[in-house]
Amino acid sequence: MIDDPLLQQVVALVTEVGRYQLEKFRALPPGGGDEKLAREFVSEVDLRSETRLIEALAPLVPKAGFFGEETGQRGSRDLQWIIDPLDGTTNYLSGLDHFCISVSLVVVGTPVLGVVYRPASGELFTALRGKGLRRNGLELPPLVHDLTLSQALVGTGFPYRSPDLADAFFPCCRQVLYQSRGIRRFGSAALDLSYLAAGYLQGFWESDLQPYDVAAALLFLSERGCRISNENAEPFDLSRDRILVAGPPAVHEELQPIIHAHYGGAARDGSTPPSELG
């Protein structure tokens, strides 16, 4: 049953794995890890964290399959745990403490349970569908839904998975920079989107995000009334779309046309479904 007791079991698990990650943090000199793709790294900590998560989650919902960043997909895809054991590996390996664990339970493509945990700060974001978003067990104040783009701090990520979109990204970034309060690039999409849902960022866009990057945070955004779309203002489809644009309604209304103007059809040309990347 997908309920609060299940959520609390997941919370206990991710905090345990988080303790393990902190024990290993800054134990290696910068430059460690293996490069699985250009500028995408994996470490022993990622692999052991994912194994521990899968082993402990399996008996909680016996019929559920898994989609892990490091081990791929297995079992049911209609009922599935989607796991990023260490989102922000490059930060982690470089000694920067902006990284997290993301776990979501997804039913027929819809996230119904989500947990994002930042071990270094102890920040814990949790949600069950229809029951709101909590940070460290407490309800968050309502988002300011009529905030304008000029008042918004906007998160993004560099297109290291998307060299074909670089010519669109950098001019877009310049325009957003001068029409917003500023831009931040922290290196962990799961945390970026959790902070957006909490209200600490007020807008976001990025290309070629993977299900394990965003599944839990998409639930958070939905629970908080944020708008989530592709560059064409269509509902975001994680299996098809390369561009995610999100924010409270008024910010999204201003941000999405800027993203569309720069990316246009470029995100469709020769695109690879996100679930098949990486």
- pLDDT at residue number 268: 65
Backbone angles phi, psi at 147, to 5 degrees: -60, 140
Question: With bands split at pLDDT 50, 70 and 90, how would you rate the model's confidence at 32?
Answer: low
Burial of 182 (C-beta count, 10 Å sphere; 0-12/13-18/19+): exposed
Asked whether the predicted pLDDT for residue 158 surpasses 80, the reply is yes
- pLDDT at residue number 277: 34
The C-alpha atoms of residue 74 and residue 238 are separated, in whole angstroms, by: 18
- pLDDT at residue number 29: 73
Q: Which H, E and C letters describe 220-263, residue by residue?
A: HHHHCCCEEECCCCCECCCCCCCEEEEECHHHHHHHHHHHHHHH
Q: How far is CA 241 from CA 74, 150, 245, in A?
A: 23, 27, 11
Least confident range from 89-98, 182-191, 259-268: namely 259-268
Question: With bands split at pLDDT 50, 70 and 90, how would you rate the model's confidence at 261?
Answer: very high
Q: How confident is the prediction for the chain on average, in pLDDT?
A: 91
Q: Which two tokens stand for residue 233?
A: 């203002």
**Contact indicator for 167, 184 with CB cutoff of 8 Å:** no
Asked whether the predicted pLDDT for residue 155 surpasses 90, the reply is yes
Least confident range from 9-13, 29-33, 272-276: namely 272-276
Question: With bands split at pLDDT 50, 70 and 90, how would you rate the model's confidence at 43?
Answer: confident
Question: With bands split at pLDDT 50, 70 and 90, how would you rate the model's confidence at 34?
Answer: low
pLDDT tens, residue by residue, 167-180: 999 999 999 999 99
Least confident range from 14-18, 66-70, 192-196, 243-247: namely 66-70
Asked whether the predicted pLDDT for residue 230 surpasses 50, the reply is yes
- For 149-276, CATH gives 3.40.190.80
Tally the residues of the chain.
278
Identity of the residue numbered 5: P
Asked whether the predicted pLDDT for residue 40 surpasses 50, the reply is no
DSSP string for residues in 184-201:
E--S-HHHHHHHHHHTSS
Other residues' Cβ atoms within 10 Å of the Cβ of residue 189: 25
Q: Find the mean pLDDT for residues 97-105.
A: 98
- pLDDT at residue number 265: 72
Neighbour-count burial for 215-247, b at 16+ CB within 10 Å, e otherwise: bbbbbbbbbbebbbbbbbeeebebeebbbbbbb
Higher confidence at residue 273 or residue 132? 132
Which of 110, 117, 134 is CA-nearest to residue 10? 117
Which of 49, 55, 50 is CA-nearest to residue 22? 49
Hey, where are the domains in the chain?
4-139, 149-276
Identity of the residue numbered 204: F
Q: Which two tokens stand for residue 110?
A: 């819809």
Higher confidence at residue 70 or residue 202? 202
In this structure, are strands 203-207 and 153-156 parallel, antiparallel, or unpaired? parallel
Report, in this order, helix, strand and coil percent for the chain, each rounded to 5.
Answer: 35, 25, 35
DSSP string for residues in 78-117:
SEEEEEEEEETHHHHHHT----EEEEEEEETTEEEEEEEE
Asked whether the predicted pLDDT for residue 75 surpasses 70, the reply is yes
Superfamily of domain 4-139 in CATH is Fructose-1,6-Bisphosphatase, subunit A, domain 1 (3.30.540.10)
Question: With bands split at pLDDT 50, 70 and 90, how would you rate the model's confidence at 239?
Answer: confident
Percentage of the chain exceeding pLDDT 90: 83
Higher confidence at residue 85 or residue 39? 85
